[in-house]
Amino acid sequence: MTLSARGLTVTLGGRPILDGIDLSVPAGAVTGLIGPNGAGKTTLLRALASVLSIAAGVITLDERPLADWPRRDRARIIAYLPQGAPCFWPVDVRRIVALGRLPHLAPWRPPAAADEAAIEDALVATDVLHLALRNVLTLSGGERARVMLARALAVRPRVLLADEPVAGLDPEHQLLVMALLREQAAEGVAVVVTLHDLTLAARFCDRLVALDHGRIAAEGPPEAVLTSPILASVFAVRAEHGHRGGQSFVIPWDVVPRLNVVEKGGIGRDRRD
Amino acid sequence: MRATAGTGSRLWPAARAWRLPIVLAALLAGAGMGSLFAGSVAMSPGEIARALIGGERDVFEIIVWQLRVPRTLLAMLIGASLGLSGAVLQGLVRNPLAEPGLLGISGAAAFGAVVAFYSGFAALFLLALPLGGMAGAAGAVVLLLVLSGPSASTLTLILAGVAVSSLAGALTALALNLSPDPYAATEIIFWMMGSLADRSFEHVQMAAACMLPGWLLLFSVRRALDALSLGEDAATSLGFDLRSVRFRAVFGTAFAVGAAVSVSGTIGFIGLVVPHLLRPLVGQEPGRLLAASALGGALLLTLTDIVVRLLAPGPEIKIGVLTALFGAPFFLVLLLRLRREAS
């Protein structure tokens, strides 16, 4: 299934956060949203997840405006993992992951075998099965992040929107989570992920969308987006590029001075991101 | 992928979910029976059984059917309403201190009922009293949600509650002061302290008629409250319309608490204590807490009302005073524990 945005504009508190975004998220690929703090990555993901209202433009899922989809159908197709993935009650891990099945449950009916299977698969895939009976609030930040990803995977979505799923993870689990997202894409899921780590973005994403001040600054395969001019103008960094085993990698190396700060000040930056 | 075969049943033990409600219901039935024995006239089990079956038209039958049965039923209905709405409010604002009494919802309902009573509307038609209570309660919940925001921190929630309860208390006192009825001032005690004494079957019917739709509304947000454990964005993305959820929680609370207060006055802390005690027994899940809290609230208020009657003779201790006497220290301990967890 394809999720697309046309002319997407979002204002929060009277300030424009996203300004005329045109974006298409293909199935079977990992699309990475990158950009500096306040570029609008989180807002774009929230808009795609239809958890905030949009000022102008339209988001479509398979050519049908998202707003026209019944909520439950939409919730079965699109899973959204919020940034920081909060949890307000000291619930068992398995119960948290089971919440991903809510869009699939018939009213007043207990979960069926398919639900149990989805929950268990998600626990196994994110390497948290051994934590299934633990209280989620006693986990480390990295463990909790994986549990929340398991919750999103338990939906068995066709579109997965993950906001910084590797933030706070140790290197092992960063690589495992990125590989997991690739696996999802290989199964035909349209994966959208916001990332701050350009090295992971370059290696694991099929496409990158670089946001800057609420607009798309560059879009395409990683090698076309993570070029020196774009890294300098969008991120104000210079990077080292290299190759290993047929894969190219990028490591942000040092800061380059921003030359056009005043000109860019026009559109607001939000603190969400 | 299936690393450990057989974990399936462990992941979601649906069969065990009914154990706690069944135990609570059995205890409630026992407490209800016990409640029929409590009163100034001592009666044997045989006399009570004969009075329940009826046909004798003697003094025992009058005592049982006109005093003790309605009182017991009211304690159950009101306790269930308070426990259930406490659990729903706590799940909605994701804060274990949300409670109809503490937040001033009961106080505002009392104000609504007082206005209906002393303006003479209650004399015109029977439902004016609960309608007034429900209007007051609905106003209070809306005001609270506006004041404290959708995901309330403990501080803003308690402050908003203080504001709403003092306003409601002052308005109730004002309405009673201005009333031409010379006995109105003494009625303050009833509305502010709560009592189940001298209620009739008419009160039971009136309360039940308003509470049942409220309960349905409150139970309808069961799964949304589970989803809200993950925050509003995640709950929305799981397919829940949060505006509709809030609407149902507000009006469910208004119906249940408004009707409760209009027949008994304000009885506090049931909605705080009961969900807190039961939460560990339902795996901390906000959705599963609802049925347990309704039954637990009914049980606790029935038992408290038995204690009230056992303390007689002597001046009647109002049931609201008794719940506050054990509820307020409970609240303080809870507050201290939350502060310790936060630091």
Look up the ipTM and state it. Answer: 0.88
Q: Is the torsion defined by CA of B218, B221, B225, B226 positive or negative?
A: positive
Chain B residues with beta carbon closer than 8 angstroms to that of A116: 8, 11-12
Cβ pair B117, B133 in contact under 8 A: no
- Could you tell me which chain A residue has the CA closest to the CA of B224? A102
Between β-strands A78-81 and A159-163, what pairing exists: parallel, antiparallel or unpaired? parallel
**Fold assignment, B20-338:** ABC transporter involved in vitamin B12 uptake, BtuC (1.10.3470)
Q: How confident is the model at residue B287 (pLDDT cuts 50, 70, 90)?
A: very high
Q: List, as one string, the DSSP characters of B293-310.
A: HHHHHHHHHHHHHHHHHH
Helix/strand/coil percent split, chain A, to 5: 35, 30, 35
Q: How confident is the model at residue B51 (pLDDT cuts 50, 70, 90)?
A: confident
**CB contact A151 to B (< 8 Å):** yes
Chain A interface, best mutation among B94, B153, B216, B230, by max A CB count within 10 A = B230
- Could you tell me which chain B residue has the CA closest to the CA of A159? B237
Q: Which domains does chain A show, CATH number per domain? A: 3-84+157-264 (3.40.50.300)
Of A91, A99, A119, the CB nearest to B284: A91
Does B229 sit within 8 Å of A89, measured CB to CB? yes
d(CA A47, CA A40): 10
Cα dihedral B172→B177→B181→B183 (10° resolution): 80
Chain A residues with beta carbon closer than 8 angstroms to that of B283: 91-92, 95
Element (H, E) at B169: helix B154-178
**Burial profile B299-310: b = 16 or more Cβ within 10 angstroms, e = fewer:** bbbbbbbbebbe
> A49: buried, middle or exposed (CB in 10 Å: 19+, 13-18, 0-12)?
buried
Amino acid at B251: F
- Could you tell me which chain A residue has the CA closest to the CA of B230? A87
Of A74, A117, A132, the CB nearest to B239: A74
As a whole number, the mean pLDDT across chain A is 89
Of A49, A74, A82, the CB nearest to B231: A82
Mean pLDDT (whole number) for B270-277: 93
Could you give the C-alpha distances from B140 to A194, B106, B112, in angstroms and in order?
41, 9, 10
Does A111 sit within 8 Å of B12, measured CB to CB? yes
Q: What is the pLDDT of residues B146-198, one digit of tens each?
A: 887 765 666 787 788 889 989 998 998 888 888 777 777 777 777 778 888 88
Helices B270-278 and B289-311, axial angle in degrees (round to 10): 130
Q: What is the pLDDT of residues B54-90, one digit of tens each?
A: 776 788 888 888 889 999 999 999 999 999 999 999 9
Chain B interface, best mutation among A120, A134, A137, A272, by max B CB count within 10 A = A120
What's the confidence (pLDDT) of residue A112?
A: 84
Could you give the C-alpha distances from B94 to B99, B154, B190, B229, B337, in angstroms and in order?
12, 10, 32, 7, 16
Beta bridge partners of A192: A31, A161
What is the number of CB-based contacts under 8 A between chain A and chain B?
112
